[in-house]
Structure formats: structure tokens, C-alpha cells
Amino acid sequence: MSPEKMARMANQIAPFFKSQPNEYAPARVAAHINDFWEPRMRRQLRAYAETDGAGLDDIVLKAIQLV
């Protein structure tokens, strides 16, 4: 999967959890990714965040630490 598509998918999750208290949002985004994304996609997202991370929502960047 292209990094841009993966970033877009991760960023689509974040707005739903932004409506909740901010301290819980990263953990909930991470939980969603851990529950529904296959391991290969999770590894790819972490690698993208570590090397570039351009375009990733702040909540997604915080969530990646928990993925």
C-alpha cells in the first residue's frame, strides 16, 4: 500500500476520536489500528512515521507509539 493511502486511512480514524477527551484519543486510535489493521499494515505505518510521517494527524503520530 502506498504511504499516502495509509496516511489517509489513519487520518480518517482520528476525527472520530477527537470528539472525546484528548488524552484518550491516541490510545483509542491505536486500539482501532491494532484491532482492525493487519500486522503488515501496522509495521508499514510505524516505518512511515519514523522516516517521514508527512501528513499524519498529530493524534495518529501519538497513537503510533502504542501500535
Q: pLDDT digit string (tens) for 19-36? A: 877 788 999 999 999 999
Q: What is the pLDDT of residue 4?
A: 87
Q: What is the pLDDT of residue 13?
A: 94
Which segments in the chain show pLDDT lower than 50? none
| Percent residues over pLDDT 70 in the chain | 100
- 40: exposed, middle or buried (C-beta count within 10 Å: 0-12, 13-18, 19+)? exposed
Helices (H), the chain: 3-18, 25-36, 39-51, 58-64
Check if the beta carbon of residue 6 is closer than 8 Å to that of residue 48: yes
Q: What is the pLDDT of residue 29?
A: 95
